[in-house]
Amino acid sequence: LRVTTFGESHGPAIGCVIDGCPPGIAIAPEDFERDLGRRASGRTRHTSQRHEDDRVEILGGVFEGRTTGTPVALLVRNTDARSKDYARIAEQFRPGHADYTYWHKYGHRDPRGGGRSSARETTMRVAAAVIARKWLAEHHGVTVRGHLSQIGEVVPDGHDWDAVEGNPFFWPHAAQVPALESYMDALRKSGDSVGARVTVVADGVPPGWGEPVYGKLDAELAAAMMSINAVKGVEIGAGFASVAQKGSEHRDAMSRQGFASNHAGGILGGISSGQQVVVSVAFKPTSSLRLPVMGLDVDGNEVEIVTTGRHDPCVGIRATPICEAMLALVLMDQALRHRAQCGDVGEVSPRVPGESKHSP
């Protein structure tokens, strides 16, 4: 499975091409609404106030409501792109923003919004993954979900999956939501931004997906998550906490009742173990701030930079559906690769039953 995206934040449209999709997957424009709505800006006061319809048009690869096996092409037209500061943005580099590195790589500047480096691009990853999620659920009973697991210094006081979709932060503990609202209101008024951590989980992944050297499941997941705008770190299972653990603690004891823990995050030797696949992703604070900062212009002069326009005070707030999308796309790719190499090897004994009882 190969996915590519195209288009700019302030161009006429953004889109994606999904190549290698099996035929026969039922797909309709309405199927995209839920996940695109979960990711969209402008739906609460805590995100960028850009209001996009994010309506998906299916341009190719689908006939009579089912994928044909040829590349699937999806398009979303931009309807609310209206930055006014192109001229100034084109002359300056925002510290912490990709406009400096894009300039060095390509030798020119596309100042329309964030251009290609805008988080607007992630719309199409979420759209592509709608197909992956359907296929994974129908063919393998695999489901993917996620939640915010830290915002700034704040961590959840409890964990309830039922709370996650009921608040604007994908926060897993409803009682903390009013405090988070106040925190975000104060942050927004101050003009600053903050980072966040997202945790995504796949249930129902069978043992055996992933490859032993190139294409390890954890390596592919790390690459996929790091390819999301603003990501600065990825952990699988216990992740960096593994550094302080003893081996006797980290290993996940096995019995006929199941695994006793899931420090491995469902992956051993780059191959799924049959436990929940658990990935945590660190998002940096948004770099486009109205607070002044020292930077350079294209002529090398030191200038004070102030970024106006509509920006997220915490881009991680909208990132849960994006991380879920990348998890689903990697899992579908690995499932297809596993089938291509190993066919249906069937159930191999012994298999530790069930999912880990340990939520992230």
Please give the residue ranges that form the binding site for ligand EPS (CB under 6 A): 9-10, 40-41, 48, 50, 52, 81, 83, 113-114, 118-120, 123, 288, 309-311
CB of residue 33 to ligand EPS, shortest distance in Å: 15
Name the minimum Å distance from CB 131 to ligand EPS. 20
Q: SS3 of 85, please?
A: coil
Q: Give the nearest distance from C-beta 209 to ligand EPS in angstroms.
A: 30
Give the nearer residue to ligand EPS in terms of CB position, either 50 or 147.
50
Looking at the Cβ atoms of 105 and 256, the one nearer to ligand EPS is: 105
Q: What are phi and psi for residue 297, nearest 5 degrees?
A: -100, 180
Min CB(31)–ligand EPS separation in Å: 19
Comparison of 6 and 258: residue with beta carbon closer to ligand EPS: 6
CB of residue 43 to ligand EPS, shortest distance in Å: 10
Q: Helix (H, G, I), strand (E, B), or coil: what is residue 36?
A: helix
Nearest-approach distance from CB 8 to ligand EPS, in angstroms? 8
90 burial type by CB count under 10 A (0-12 exposed, 13-18 middle, 19+ buried):
middle
The CB-nearest residue to ligand EPS is 113
Using CA atoms, how far apart are residues 87 and 187, in angstroms rounded to an integer?
A: 28
Least distance CB 10 / ligand EPS (angstroms): 6
Closest to ligand EPS by CB, 133 vs 311, is 311
In angstroms, the CA 137 to CA 141 distance is 4
CB 349: neighbour CB atoms within 10 A? Answer: 4
| Shortest distance, position 306 Cβ to ligand EPS, whole Å | 14
Q: Which is nearer to ligand EPS, 125 or 263 (CB)?
A: 125
Cα within 13 Å of Cα(164), Cβ side: 19
Least distance between ligand EPS and beta carbon 275 (Å):
32
Contact of 154 with 175, CB cutoff 8 Å? no
- Judged by CB, which is closer to ligand EPS: 76, or 331? 76
Give the residue with the Cβ less far from ligand EPS, 263 or 311.
Answer: 311
207 preceded by a cis bond (ω within 30 of 0): no
Instruction: Give the dihedral of Cα atoms 186, 280, 172, 321; nearest 10 deg.
Output: 80
Q: Reduced to 3 states, what is the DSSP secondary structure of residue 313? A: coil
DSSP 8-class letter at 158: S
- Looking at the Cβ atoms of 44 and 83, the one nearer to ligand EPS is 83
Residue with smaller CB distance to ligand EPS, 50 or 338: 50
267, 234 Cβ separation under 8 angstroms: no
List of E strands, the chain:
2-7, 13-19, 56-60, 62-63, 66-67, 72-77, 143-151, 196-203, 231-236, 254-255, 258-259, 267-268, 271-272, 277-283, 293-296, 302-305
Reading the block at residue 355, the tokens are: 């999912």
